[in-house]
Amino acid sequence: MSELSIRPATEPDVPLILCFVRELAEYEKLSHAVTATEALLRTALFGERPAASALIGSVDGEPAGFALFFSNFSTFLGRSGLYLEDLYVRPEYRGKGLGMALVRRVAAIAAEQQCGRLEWSVLNWNEPAIRFYQKLGAAPLREWTVFRLHAAGIHRLAGMDDTGRSG
């Protein structure tokens, strides 16, 4: 069985994060859309006012994927939320539970921050991702093709009961 580990990204991870972004873009047939640079990511993730956070996932000590997310806000809920911008696991490491572990960690962060929702978007043709997200309990918002977990779903995914306690 493989050993999975997840840790917050640090500034020295910026080249790795950009590499993951480019690999994800290639998979999504969007390589032409990537204009990110190490300098831009460094500022966005570790500058004076970080705009996003990232997690690095490893399998048996090898960097294998990442999750990048940021805060958003719902006026309807009157609460912040987290938006999962990118979730990527290298093909050779898929099926080992790293994607699930990364999403669970993001859900735990959302629960700790008392977020009202966790949401993300997926390309309509990406059936493996859609099946994975539905398995998490997320539901598509058909008009937007956005997936969302409300507080109860965030807690469940984070391994907590409805009151936010570990269970």
Catalytic residue among 83, 88, 93, 133: 133
Q: Does residue 122 lie within any of the structural domains? A: yes
Count of structural domains within the chain: 1
Q: Does residue 166 lie within any of the structural domains? A: no
Mean pLDDT calculated for residue range 46-53? 97
Answer whether residue 145 shows pLDDT above 60. Answer: no
Looking at the DSSP assignment, which residues form a beta bridge with residue 80?
Answer: 73
Q: Quote the CA–CA distance of 48 and 61 in Å, as a whole number.
A: 30
**Mean pLDDT, rounded, of the chain:** 93
Measured between alpha carbons, how far is residue 64 from residues 1, 9, 20, 39, 162 in Å?
15, 13, 9, 22, 32
pLDDT tens digits, residue range 71-104?
999 999 999 999 999 999 999 999 999 999 999 9
Answer whether residue 53 shows pLDDT above 90. Answer: yes
Whichever domain contains 110, its CATH number is 3.40.630.30
Q: Does residue 167 lie within any of the structural domains? A: no
In this prediction, residue 144 has a pLDDT band, given cuts at 50, 70 and 90, of low
Q: Quote the CA–CA distance of 141 and 147 in Å, as a whole number.
A: 6
Domain extent at residue 20:
4-157
Q: Does residue 23 lie within any of the structural domains? A: yes
Judge whether 78 and 111 are in contact, CB under 8 Å: no
Share of the chain above pLDDT 70, in %: 96
Judge whether 102 and 87 are in contact, CB under 8 Å: yes
Q: Does residue 164 lie within any of the structural domains? A: no
pLDDT at 124: 86
pLDDT at 161: 80
Q: Does residue 68 lie within any of the structural domains? A: yes
Whether 133 is catalytic is yes
Q: Does residue 162 lie within any of the structural domains? A: no
Q: Does residue 124 lie within any of the structural domains? A: yes
In this prediction, residue 148 has a pLDDT band, given cuts at 50, 70 and 90, of low
Judge whether 4 and 72 are in contact, CB under 8 Å: no
Instruction: Give pTM, 2 decimals.
Output: 0.84
Share of the chain above pLDDT 90, in %: 78
